[in-house]
Amino acid sequence: MKPSIPKGTRDFSPDEMVRRNFILQTIRNVYERYGFRQIETPAMENLSMLEGKYGEEGDKLLFRILNSGDVTNEIKEKRDSIKTSDLSEKGLRYDLTVPFARYVVMHRNEITFPFRRYQMQPVWRADRPQKGRYREFYQCDADVIGSDSLLNEAELVQIIADVFSALNIGVSIKINNRKILAGIAEILGQADKIIDITVAIDKLDKIGAEKVNEELRSKGVSDDAVQKMQPLFSVKGNTSGKLAFLDTFLEKSDIGKKGIEEVRTLLNYLDTLKFQTALLDLDITLARGLNYYTGAIFEVKVNDTRSTFTSSVLGGGRYDDLTGIFGLPDVSGVGISFGIDRIYDVMLEMDLFDKLNLNKPSTKVLLVNFGSKEEHYALTVLQKLRAADIKAEIYPDAAKMKKQMAYADAYKIPYVLLIGDEEMQSGKLTLKNMTSGEQSKHEVEELMNMLHE
RNA sequence: GUGAAUGUAGCUCAGCUGGUUAGAGCAUCAGAUUGUGGUUCUGAGGGUCGUGGGUUCGAGCCCCAUCUUUCACCCCA
């Protein structure tokens, strides 16, 4: 049998784990500094919790878990009356936000709102893998639920900046507001086509105005509306310029004006915080994000000369009624989600890990195994070293010295301790420094001091 | 889901218009060196050429299917 793993999944070896943990730990530190508390939810959810939450496309990408028991037989027996739920009623989670909404509703009586939670767990999507896209990947979410305040948005933006600055990655934080997009659709008299419109204009940088217009028409947006939309495509300049344009463009849309106001409020907060505005980009074509977003939308792209990465490394936004579908209405939340697998790829491309000096050896000293008599003596030394908090291990077999030394070398263990006949009699153990090759003899107490620093 | 490329030893790759027993470097293991790693030297192991069919006297090479990986679209972290 040839070993294999499912498409789009990966093994992580020790060196990769050191790096992944560094990213995870960096994000965790920032989240906790801002007062977020960690939760975890199950890898699988009941399908009814997942279906219909991510749009048509999302439903297709859900991994469904086959029911246990003799499903094939069930199909044969039921034939025409077979239902999907007879085959599968559980699925792997697609993101962390929907399970969080479910969590909040189920635990509403234990939670004091507003609730700041973070969560770092894998999610699964049955997408076709490609660059920066995996079928199993980690999301690191922070959400504040139970508060309408735009202060939360401001803090999340701060978090994003803190994390990428700690990771030494140059980024551009794109913000927009779903209400502005809704206002645009309203002004165009195409409120029902808001999804098609936003999906199309999101592609502006990528495919250009001409192709966007083409797509809009193919989705049934009227020529008149497409015509009216053109000024949007040529808006340039700084944030206040863009907002001034929107003031006029959306003058007759209440929801649009609300969106503009929200953006202004958020920017005001960030101004007070002396936020580095260079990182921020109000992008009125930014539409990405799931269907459930209702206010702010965030997306982060790498903006660093050392990287060629173009896909987003973070997404997020405000959702006013995600808990409503689970029976708890009028609870608003806002959150962000780091994609650490993509961040890993970016950091690898920029050689950032090498500079971090992360691959510290885990073991400080290896005790050579000379045989059963010496083993017992070595074991007591080993115990003393470990009690003194010195990372130590003994080679488990009385293998040839060459082999044991090669082992220490391979794992970059800086010291080797030799305890043979001579050492046992004198009580002075031979310590070899693997970097310099020098050897010296010391009593156990002395060794503990030497190796401790 | 749509379109394209790819697959030869653990890794990176050679392999001629189809022609004996498929090679190299690195890595691994063993020995040179029975209490000393990283350098050096010597040797060894490791392949149903992704898998299954087909064409042919003969297939790593040609054809079909399928899977993997990669890239683009769709969508997304």
Q: What is the pLDDT of residue A311?
A: 86
Q: How confident is the model at residue A265 (pLDDT cuts 50, 70, 90)?
A: very high
Q: CA at A401, C1' at B42: how many angstroms apart?
A: 21
Q: CA at A20, C1' at B38: how many angstroms apart?
A: 29
Q: The domain at A171-303 falls in which architecture?
A: 2-Layer Sandwich (3.30)
pLDDT over threshold 70, residue A27: yes
Q: What is the pLDDT of residue A289?
A: 61
Give the mean pLDDT of A163-177: 95
Tell me: the pLDDT tens digits for A289-329? 667 899 999 999 999 988 888 889 999 999 999 999 999 99
Q: CA at A405, C1' at B31: how many angstroms apart?
A: 17
State which nucleotides on strand B lie below 7 Å from a protein beta carbon: 1-3, 28-31, 33-38, 50, 67-77
Q: What is the pLDDT of residue A57?
A: 85
Q: Which nucleotide is nearest to A432 (CA to C1')?
A: B36
ipTM of the complex: 0.87
Question: If 0-12 CB within 10 Å is exposed, 13-18 middle and 19+ buried, where does residue A264 land?
Answer: middle
Q: CA at A128, C1' at B4: how many angstroms apart?
A: 14
Tell me which protein residue sits closest to nucleotide B68, measuring alpha carbon to C1': A7
**Which option is the CATH number for A365-452: 3.30.559.10, 3.40.640.10, 3.30.2400.10, 3.40.50.800?**
3.40.50.800
Q: How confident is the model at residue A77 (pLDDT cuts 50, 70, 90)?
A: confident
Give the mean pLDDT of A194-221: 85
Q: CA at A62, C1' at B54: how many angstroms apart?
A: 38
How many residues does the structure list for chain A? Answer: 453
Alpha carbons A187 and A260: distance in angstroms, whole number: 14
Q: CA at A110, C1' at B42: how many angstroms apart?
A: 72
Tell me: the pLDDT tens digits for A354-396? 888 776 667 999 999 999 999 999 999 999 999 999 999 999 9
Q: Which nucleotide is nearest to A198 (CA to C1')?
A: B75
Q: How confident is the model at residue A104 (pLDDT cuts 50, 70, 90)?
A: very high
Q: Where are the domains of chain A?
A: 171-303, 365-452
Q: How confident is the prediction for chain A on average, in pLDDT?
A: 91
How many alpha carbons fall within 13 Å on the CB side of residue A93? Answer: 22
Give the mean pLDDT of A404-430: 94
pLDDT over threshold 80, residue A278: no
Q: Which nucleotide is nearest to A58 (CA to C1')?
A: B75
